[in-house]
């Protein structure tokens, strides 16, 4: 049975770190408020020369180096982003060109903060049906370009960055002992659009627009939606929370992460948290957090890892994999 196995991982962050205190001179807020309500202490903000494509390329190169591969070994790139370099062509194709790749195929996937979970599921499907042998799955975002820097309720929450994994076709016995992607659940529901959206677009205003969010409303729905898709992956794989080695959730808000882990019965020491240093980097948050936990030696080969995300749309989803 074909399984999509993670072969390498990498990440990239903009040079500039912006600490909470810097907001104090811009809007009416405080480091204390931001830390207490969100867990965020700092985020990276992209300079003009740092784009979704350049950060995505850097993360992809790091993942290839970690895997001991070159772009020649890749035949598919799926880029999860809501902040593409251009309306078209797809930024994935730009990254493909930056990598000097002129074979295979590449496309963008837009599911906002759930983008990486959607992209892993998509690449896994392409690999299992034989359309790809080895894929780069990237989450790269420059959400700082979408922010209204006068709106204290949103501008303090987000950051920029990118993470990438190499997924390749491997063999498995069809059990949860296999390495690779074991289960996945994806959901969306457009009735919640007004709670989290960008008020611009090519076909409507002709502008890029700004991020708008009813934070309390998003919070209200988040925990139930997250636990729903996670329980669906547990049921598919026939496991319980106790079987997990690591929970790597979308990094939007530490309170949402803590509440979800508690509801699911996932022990605190199994939860990977990076929202304190990266803020919410949308589709980049899960691969960035994974990358940190692999680099510091927490996530090791053979570990059972649960990925989860929820975001604009609403979209939400979970992926269970053995590292």
Active site residues: 113, 250, 280
| Stretch of 1-9, 133-141, 233-241, 249-257 lying at the interface with ligand ACO (CB under 6 A) | 249-257
Tell me: does residue 215 bind ligand ACO (CB under 6 A): yes
What DSSP assignment string belongs to 113-149? Answer: GGHHHHHHHHHHHHHHTTS-SEEEEEEEEEGGGG--T
Residue with the CB atom nearest ligand ACO in the bound state: 215
Residue 313's SS3 state is coil
Choose between 103 and 216: whose C-beta lies nearer to ligand ACO.
216
Compute the least distance from the CB of residue 285 to ligand ACO, in Å: 8
Q: Who's near 104: CB < 8 A, 6+ residues apart?
A: 74, 75, 76, 77, 96, 132
Residue 212: Cβ within 10 Å count: 17
> How far is the C-alpha of 316 from the C-alpha of 276, rounded, in Å?
22
Q: How far is the CB of 41 from ligand ACO (least distance, A)?
A: 14
Q: Is 263 in the site for ligand ACO (CB under 6 A)?
A: no
Cβ atoms of residues 232 and 185 within 8 Å:
yes
Q: In whole angstroms, what separates CA 205 from the centre of its chain?
A: 28
**Residue 112 touching ligand ACO (CB under 6 A):** yes
Looking at beta carbons only, is 26 or 202 nearer to ligand ACO? 26
> Tokens representing 119?
């992209």
Q: Is 271 exposed, middle or buried (0-12, 13-18, 19+ CB in 10 A)?
A: buried
209 makes contact with ligand ACO (CB under 6 A): no
Total site size for ligand ACO, rule CB under 6 A: 23
Q: Which is nearer to ligand ACO, 55 or 218 (CB)?
A: 218
Q: How far apart are CA 72 and CA 321, in angstroms?
A: 26
CA 246 to centroid of chain Cα atoms: 16
Does residue 190 bind ligand ACO (CB under 6 A)? no
Q: Rule CB under 6 A: say whether 252 interacts with ligand ACO.
A: yes
Residues in 119-138 that interact with ligand ACO by CB under 6 A: none
Pick 216 or 301: Cβ nearer ligand ACO? 216
The contact pattern for ligand ACO, residues 60-89, with x = CB under 6 A and - = no contact, is ------------------------------
The reply to whether 283 sits near ligand ACO by the rule CB under 6 A is no
The pair of three-digit structure tokens given for residue 140, joined into one six-digit string = 């790269």
Residues numbered 141-180 forming contacts with ligand ACO, rule: CB under 6 A: 152-153, 156
Evaluate whether 41 touches 32 at the Cβ level (below 8 Å).
Answer: no
Nearer to ligand ACO among residue 213 and residue 264 (C-beta): 213
Sheet holding 2-12, edge to edge: 2-12, 160-171, 134-142, 76-80, 105-109
Does position 97 interact with ligand ACO (CB under 6 A)? The reply is no
User: Can you give the binding site for ligand ACO, defined by CB under 6 A?
Assistant: 29, 33-34, 37-38, 112-113, 152-153, 156, 196, 215-216, 218-219, 222, 252-253, 256, 280, 282, 311-312
């Amino acid at each position: 049975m074909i399984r999509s196995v993670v072969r390498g991982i990498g990440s990239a962050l903009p040079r500039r770190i912006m600490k909470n205190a810097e907001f104090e001179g811009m809007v009416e807020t405080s480091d204390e408020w931001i830390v207490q309500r969100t867990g965020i202490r700092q985020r990276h903000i992209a300079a003009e020369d740092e784009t979704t494509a350049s950060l995505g390329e850097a993360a992809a190169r790091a993942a290839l180096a970690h895997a001991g591969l070159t772009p020649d070994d890749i035949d598919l790139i799926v880029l999860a982003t809501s902040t593409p370099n251009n309306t078209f062509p797809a930024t994935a194709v730009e990254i493909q060109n930056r990598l000097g790749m002129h074979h295979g195929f590449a496309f963008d996937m837009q599911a906002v903060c759930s983008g990486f979970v959607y992209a892993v599921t998509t690449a896994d499907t392409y690999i299992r049906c034989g359309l790809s042998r080895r894929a780069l799955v990237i989450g790269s975002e420059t959400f700082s370009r979408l922010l209204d820097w006068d709106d204290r309720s949103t501008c303090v929450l987000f950051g920029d960055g990118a993470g990438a994994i190499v997924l390749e076709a491997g063999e498995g016995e069809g059990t949860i002992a296999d390495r690779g992607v074991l289960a996945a659940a994806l959901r969306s529901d457009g009735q919640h659009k007004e709670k989290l959206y960008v008020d611009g677009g090519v076909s409507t205003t002709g502008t890029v627009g700004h991020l708008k969010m009813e934070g309390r409303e998003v919070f209200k729905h988040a925990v139930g939606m997250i636990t729903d898709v996670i329980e669906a992956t547990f049921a598919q794989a026939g496991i319980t929370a106790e079987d997990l080695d690591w929970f790597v959730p979308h990094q939007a808000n530490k309170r949402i992460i803590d509440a979800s882990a508690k509801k699911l019965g996932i022990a605190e020491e199994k939860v990977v948290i990076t929202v304190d240093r990266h803020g919410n980097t949308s589709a980049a948050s899960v691969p960035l957090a994974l990358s940190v936990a692999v680099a510091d030696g927490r996530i090791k080969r053979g570990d059972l890892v649960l990925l989860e995300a929820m975001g604009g749309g609403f979209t939400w989803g979970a992926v269970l994999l053995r590292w």
